[in-house]
Structure 1
Amino acid sequence: MGRPHKPLLDRVRITTTALELVDEQGDFSVPQIARRLGVQTASVYHHVDGRDGIVELLRERICAAIDGGTLDGRPWDAAVAAWARSYRAAFAAHPKAIPLLTTSPVRAPRVLEQYEKAVALLLDAGFALPDVMPVIIALENLVLGSALDMAAPEAMWELADDTATPRLARALAAFPEGGRTDTAFELALAGYLTHIRGMPDGA
C-alpha cells in the first residue's frame, strides 16, 4: 500500500480542530484534538509545542484576520480607530477564545509584529514612551470587551414589571432596536480617542 499523499496531521489541522473545540466549549485539550482527528495524543505533540504552542497557533489564526495594514495609515488617530474595528471583528468571530488568549502571554511572532507597528505608530505621533503600552492595553480592553458583548443577546434587560424601574423602561424604549453593540462600541471608541489625542508631546 502506498503512502498517503496528504499528511494525516499537521499544524494547520491541529489549529483548525482546536479552534472548533474552543468555539464549541470555550477550551480544548490535546487528547480532545487527537480524538477528533483520529490520531494518538502523542502524535499531536510531535507537531506542536504542547498546549501553550497550540494556544499561540490559535492566537495567530484569529489575529490573522486583523488588518495590520490599518496601522500604516495616517493620521494616527484614524489608523488606531481602523485597527480597533478590525481587531474587534476578528475576535467577535471567536468570542469564546477571548478568556483563553487573554490569560496567556503573547508569543506568536506575527502577532508581536502588529504590536510593534502599533508602538511605532504611537511613538511617531509623539506619545511619550511610558504612555505607549497603557494606550494599547486600554484599547484592547475596549475592543475585547465589545467583542464579548457582540456574543450577548440583543435584549440584555428583561423587565418583568415596568413600574418597578420606570426610568430604565423609558431608556430602553427610546433605544433603537438593533445595533446595540455597535452603538456602544463607537461611543466608547470616540471617548477613548478624544482622551488620547491630548497625550502626544506638543499636542
Structure 2
Amino acid sequence: MGRPRRPLLDRERITTTALQLIDEQGDFSVPRIARRLGAQTGSVYHRVDGRDGIVELLRERVASAIDVTTLDLRPWDTALEAWARSCRAAFAARPRTIPLLMTSPVRAPRVLEQYERAVALLRDAGFGADEVMPLLVALENPVLGSALDLAAPESMGELAQDTPTPLLAEALAAVGEGRADRAFEVGLTGFLDHARAMRAARA
C-alpha cells in the first residue's frame, strides 16, 4: 500500500479536533482527541507538549483571526480601539475557548509577538512601563467578557412572579436588541477615555 497523502496526526488536525470537542463538550482531553482521530494517545503526546501544548495551539488558532495590522494605525487610541474590536470578533467566534485560554499563561510565540506590538504602541504613545500591563489587562476584560456575552441569551434574566422586581423588568424591556454590542461600546468608550486621561496626565 502507498503512503497516505497526509499523516494521520499533525498539529493542525489535533488543534481542529480539540476545537470540535470544545464546541461540543466545553473541554477536551488528549485521550478524547486521540480517539476522535483514531490514534493512540501516545502518538498525540509525541506531536504536542501535552494538554498545555494543545492549549497554546488553540490560542494561536484563535489569535490568527485577529487583525494585527490594526496596531499599525495612528493615533494610538485609534489603533487600540481597532485592535480591541478585532480581538472581540476573533474570540466571539470561539467563545468556549475563553475559559481555557484565560486560565493559563501565554506561551505561544505568535501571541506573545502580538502583545509585544501592543506594548510598543503604548510605550511609543508615552505611557510608562508600569502603566502598560494594567491597561492591556483592563482592555482584555471587556473584550473577552463581551465575546462571551455575544454567545449568551439576549435576555439577561428570567423574572419570577414571586420576586417583585419592577425596575429590573422595565430596564430589561427597554434595552431592545443589540444589548451585548451596546454594553461593549460603553465599556470600550470608558476604557479609552480613561487611557486618554492617563496619557494627558503624563504630558
TM-score range, shorter chain: over 0.9
Distance (whole Å) between structure 2 residues aligned to residue 80 and residue 54 of structure 1: 29
Structure 1 residue 172, shift from structure 2 partner: 2.1
Alpha-carbon displacement from aligned partner over 1:135-187 (angstroms, at most 9, x marks no partner): 001111111111111111001222233992222222222222x2110000001
> Residue in 1 aligned with 2:57?
57
Tell whether the 8 Å contact from 1:70 to 1:83 is kept in structure 2 after alignment: yes
Structure 2 gaps, min length 5: none
Distance (whole Å) between structure 2 residues aligned to residue 154 and residue 7 of structure 1: 43
Tell whether the 8 Å contact from 2:155 to 2:172 is kept in structure 1 after alignment: no
Question: Residues 33-182 of structure 1 correspond to what in structure 2 (within 5 A)?
Answer: 33-161=33-161, 164-176=164-176, 178-182=177-181
Structure 1 residue 43, shift from structure 2 partner: 1.0
> Residue in 2 aligned with 1:197?
196
Give the number of aligned pairs. 202
Structure 1 residue 188, shift from structure 2 partner: 0.7
Residue type at the aligned position of 1:37: L
Distance (whole Å) between structure 2 residues aligned to residue 145 and residue 163 of structure 1: 28
Calculate the TM-score normalised by the size of structure 1.
0.95
Distance (whole Å) between structure 2 residues aligned to residue 5 and residue 147 of structure 1: 38
Q: Which runs of 4+ in 1 moved over 3 A?
A: 160-163
Calculate the TM-score normalised by the size of structure 2.
0.95
Distance (whole Å) between structure 2 residues aligned to residue 31 and residue 15 of structure 1: 14
Q: CA RMSD in A?
A: 1.4
Residue type at the aligned position of 1:185: F
Tell whether the 8 Å contact from 1:72 to 1:79 is kept in structure 2 after alignment: yes
Structure 1 residue 100, shift from structure 2 partner: 0.6
Alpha-carbon displacement from aligned partner over 1:65-109 (angstroms, at most 9, x marks no partner): 111110110111111111111101111111111111111110000
Distance (whole Å) between structure 2 residues aligned to residue 171 and residue 18 of structure 1: 40
Q: Determine what percentage of the aligned residue pairs are the same residue.
A: 73
> Residue in 2 aligned with 1:26?
26
> Residue in 2 aligned with 1:185?
184
Cα 1:162–1:185 shift into 2, 3 Å = farther
